Structure 1
Amino acid sequence: MRNGRSGRLSSKISRLITSKGSSGTRMKQASPKQRSLWTKIGITLLVMFLIAAALQIGPHIISSRTDRSPARLLEGIEPDSSSTEKQTRIKTILQAMTPEEKAGQLLMFGFSEEDEHFISQMISRRQIGGVIIFERNVRDAGQVIRMNQALQRRAYLYGSLPLFIAVDQEGEPVDRLGSTITCFPGPRDLGRLNSPYYTWIAARDTARELKALGFNVNLAPVLDIAGEDSIVYERSYGDAAWQVCSLGQAAVNGYRQGGVIPCAKHFPGIGFAVDDPHEGTVEIEKNLNELEESDLRPFRHLIAAGVEMILVSNALYPSLDPEAPACFSPIIVKDLLRENMAYDGLILCDDLEMGAALSHNSTGRLAVDAVKAGADIVLVCHSPEKQAEAYNALVEAIKSGEINEQQLNETLNRIITIKMKWQLGSQQAVPEKAAAVIKNQRHQEDARQIMTELNRKKDSDN
Structure 2
Amino acid sequence: MGFNVNFAPVLDVNSNPNNPVIGDRAFGSDKSKVITHGLRVMEGIKEEGILAVVKHFPGHGDTHIDSHIELPIIEKELDELKELELTPFKEAIKKGVDGIMVAHILFPKLDSEYPSTLSNKIIEGLLRNELGFEGLIFSDDMTMGAIVENLSIEEAAVKFLKAGGDVLLICHGYENHLKVIERIKEEILEGRLTEEEIDEKTYRIIKTKKKYGFEDNIIDKIDLELLNSKSKKLLDRIDKKVNP
The TM-score, its normalising length taken from structure 2, stands at 0.94
Partner letter of residue 398 of structure 1? I
- State the alpha-carbon separation in 2 of the partners of residues 332 and 347 from structure 1: 12
Residue 439 of structure 1: SS of its match in structure 2?
A: helix
Within-5 A mapping of 1:50-449: 213-227=1-15, 228-230=17-19, 231-425=21-215, 428-431=218-221, 433-435=222-224, 438-441=227-230, 443-449=231-237
Contact 1:347–1:377 (CA under 8 A) maintained in structure 2: yes
- State the alpha-carbon separation in 2 of the partners of residues 219 and 258 from structure 1: 14
Partner letter of residue 291 of structure 1? L
1:266-298 deviations in whole A, cap 9, x for unaligned? 000000012111111111222111110011000
1:427 offset after TM fit, Å?
6.2
RMSD: 1.6
1:424-454 deviations in whole A, cap 9, x for unaligned? 11664322x443652133x322212223333
- State the alpha-carbon separation in 1 of the partners of residues 28 and 223 from structure 2: 33
Greater Rg, structure 1 or structure 2?
Answer: 1
1:312 offset after TM fit, Å?
0.3
Change (3 A) 1:434 1:428: farther
Contact 1:214–1:427 (CA under 8 A) maintained in structure 2: no
Same amino acid, percent of matched pairs: 33
1:451 aligns with 2:226: no
Partner letter of residue 371 of structure 1? L
Change (3 A) 1:366 1:234: same
1:332-381 deviations in whole A, cap 9, x for unaligned? 00000011000000000111110101122111111100000011011111
Structure having the higher helix fraction is: 1
1:401 offset after TM fit, Å?
2.0
1:387-427 deviations in whole A, cap 9, x for unaligned? 22111111111222211333322211101111122221166
Partner letter of residue 452 of structure 1? K
Change (3 A) 1:408 1:447: same
- State the alpha-carbon separation in 1 of the partners of residues 153 and 47 from structure 2: 36
Listed as ranges, the gaps of 5+ residues in structure 2 are none
Residue 425 of structure 1: SS of its match in structure 2?
A: coil
The TM-score, its normalising length taken from structure 1, stands at 0.51
Partner letter of residue 439 of structure 1? N
- State the alpha-carbon separation in 1 of the partners of residues 172 and 50 from structure 2: 24
Listed as ranges, the gaps of 5+ residues in structure 1 are 1-212, 457-462
- State the alpha-carbon separation in 2 of the partners of residues 283 and 409 from structure 1: 33
